Amino acid sequence: MIDFELTPEEEAAVKVAHKAAEELFRPISRYYDEHEHESPQELIDTLWEKRGEVGMLSLSLAAALGIEELCWGDAGLMLCNPGPSLGGAAVWASGTPEQRDRFLKRFNKGKPKWGAMAMTEAGCGSDTSAITATAVRDGDEWVLNGEKIFVTQGKRALEDSDGIVVVWATVDKSAGRAGMKSFVVEAGTPGMRVEKLEKKLGIRASDTATIIFEDCRIPYENILGSPEVRKLDKTKTAGFQKAMATFDATRPIVAAQALGVGRAALDFVKETLEKEGIEIRYGLPRNKLSALERDVMDMEAHYKAAKLLTLRAIWMLNQGQPNNLEASMAKAKTGLAVTRITQKAVELMGPLGYSRKYLLEKWMRDAKINDIFEGTGQINMLIVARRVLGYSRDQLK
């Protein structure tokens, strides 16, 4: 039965997260944008204490809605939120029960911890099959070597806490995609170091690390999924499927993050207009609307379109339905929508939009990442295209 009503639990999750966004995130938003690489320790401690309440540990609809609210507060600060995050999602999606227990239990107790995902390398971004980091078996251990960049919360996961990072590496270069596997590396493992933190256009509160692995030894049991290099067919390989399973779960969540930034800008525009006594007259024919009203309605409609696609993808995930197509649809649409919404908002607000006195210009910078990370808009379009055409990656490059 088609229904758009939130459950009381979901309503409550939205409320709690929105309150946190208003009271904890917004007041320090500008400071941490201007003090990149400084850690918002107080916020981190508070969020860690409240983590049950905000419900960050699951991929439920309530969690996604909460994430949207927190990103409405500040997307960069939301990413500082301690928890299993993308690394945890990978363990959750493709780990054994024993692995889930061993790696995720830590997120329920003790001091703040982070889970990170290390996939990108200097020479490969979207083309994850070109990964050069290696994992070689040596008895009861894997030996990891390579350099990973753009690891979100990499430093916090490995240096500031007893966290985990999920590292993608090849066990057999000649096997291509089939040789690609993911491994869980725990904080404090010798042979691994954080080399540097990036300086970014936006989401500056979030740390983006380069991590170097030099003969980094981890237990054999830390591989996620099967160690076997199976060539089932050219397009479907076990290792790659695991990666995709993770993306199907994380892309809608990342889309929810994007929605929060887009709505922050949209709300700012609407509130400013309201203060000026300018009303958006829904329902009027186009020829009666001002260009400003048209623009605002257009922004709202695109936000709504993106939000519903995102909710559908998350709903399918929680229903246990395959959502590869829908997750990519949501991610592609949302990344682009919020990029355009925030840019349009800066344009519409004139001097208020461009000034650092307000947060709007920051939201425009923050929003752009959503069209890039967790699969660029183009990569997601490519996935959607392959799906709707029934093409393999060889048929549509």
Partner 1 sequence: MISFSPSEEQQMIVNVVKQFATDEMRKVYREADESGEIPARIIDAAWGLGFISSSIPEEHGGAGSEHSTITGSLLAEELAWGDLSMAMHTLCPTLVVLPILEMGTEEQKRKYLPAFCREKYKAATAALMEPRFNFDPYSLSTTARLDGGNYLLNGEKCYVPLAADADLLLVYATDNGSNQGFILEKGASGLEIGAPEKNMGIKALSTYELALKDCRIPRENRLGGKIGCDFNRIMNCSRVALSAMAVGVARAAFEYSRDYAKERVAFGEPIAARQAIAFMLAEMAIEVDATRLMTWEAAWKLDRKEDATKEASLVKMYADDMAVTVTDRAVQILGGHGYIREHPVELWLRNGRGFAAFDGMAIVYKEIQHYD
Q: Which of residues 180-239 bind partner 1 (CB under 8 A)?
A: none
Interface with partner 1, residue 385, by CB under 8 A = yes
SS3 87: helix
Angle among Cα 255, 355, 41 to the nearest 5 degrees reads 60
In this complex, which beta carbon is closest to partner 1, that of residue 4 or of residue 98?
4
In this complex, which beta carbon is closest to partner 1, that of residue 26 or of residue 270?
270
Interface with partner 1, residue 275, by CB under 8 A = no
Beta strands, E only, 95-190: 115-118, 134-138, 141-152, 164-170, 180-186
Interface with partner 1, residue 1, by CB under 8 A = yes
Interface with partner 1, residue 332, by CB under 8 A = yes
The total number of residues written for the chain in this structure:
397
Q: Is 374 a catalytic residue?
A: yes
Among 11, 201, 284, 322, binds partner 1 (CB under 8 A): 284
Q: Who's near 233: CB < 8 A, 6+ residues apart? A: none
| Residues 239/181, Cβ–Cβ less than 8 Å | yes
In this complex, which beta carbon is closest to partner 1, that of residue 194 or of residue 255?
255
| Residues 348/331, Cβ–Cβ less than 8 Å | no
Size of the site for partner 1 (CB under 8 A): 52
Beta carbon of residue 283, minimum distance to partner 1 (angstroms, whole number): 5
Interface with partner 1, residue 49, by CB under 8 A = no
Beta strand 180-186 with 115-118 is: unpaired
Q: Which of 68, 121, 293, 374 is catalytic?
A: 374
Q: Rounded distance, CA 323 to CA 388, Å?
A: 13
Among 158, 306, 338, 367, binds partner 1 (CB under 8 A): 306
| Residues linked to residue 121 through DSSP beta bridges, in sequence order | 124
* Tokens of residue 212, six digits: 């170097």
Among 308, 322, 347, 356, binds partner 1 (CB under 8 A): 308
Beta carbon of residue 4, minimum distance to partner 1 (angstroms, whole number): 5
* Tokens of residue 357, six digits: 């006195």
Across 203-232, b (16+ Cβ under 10 Å) vs e yields: bbbbbbbbbbbeebbbeeebbbbeeebeee
Interface with partner 1, residue 98, by CB under 8 A = no
Beta carbon of residue 374, minimum distance to partner 1 (angstroms, whole number): 17
Beta carbon of residue 293, minimum distance to partner 1 (angstroms, whole number): 8
The window from 146-154, 217-225, 242-250, 275-283 that contacts partner 1 (CB under 8 A) reads 275-283
Interface with partner 1, residue 119, by CB under 8 A = no
Q: Which of 232, 216, 208, 252 is nearest to 380 (CA)?
A: 252
Q: Which of 250, 227, 251 is nearest to 169 (CA)?
A: 227
Beta carbon of residue 260, minimum distance to partner 1 (angstroms, whole number): 18
The window from 23-31, 42-50, 162-170, 290-298 that contacts partner 1 (CB under 8 A) reads 290-298
Among 292, 347, 355, 357, binds partner 1 (CB under 8 A): 292
Q: Rounded distance, CA 15 to CA 62, Å?
A: 11
SS3 266: helix
Across 319-329, b (16+ Cβ under 10 Å) vs e yields: eeeebbbbbbb
Interface with partner 1, residue 384, by CB under 8 A = yes
Interface with partner 1, residue 267, by CB under 8 A = no
Among 35, 230, 304, 356, binds partner 1 (CB under 8 A): 304
The window from 229-237, 310-318, 344-352, 364-372 that contacts partner 1 (CB under 8 A) reads 310-318
Which residues are near partner 1 by CB under 8 A?
1-7, 10, 61, 278, 282-292, 294, 297-298, 300-302, 304-306, 308-309, 311-312, 315-316, 326, 329, 332-333, 378, 381-382, 384-386, 388-389, 391, 395-397
Residues annotated as part of the active site: 374
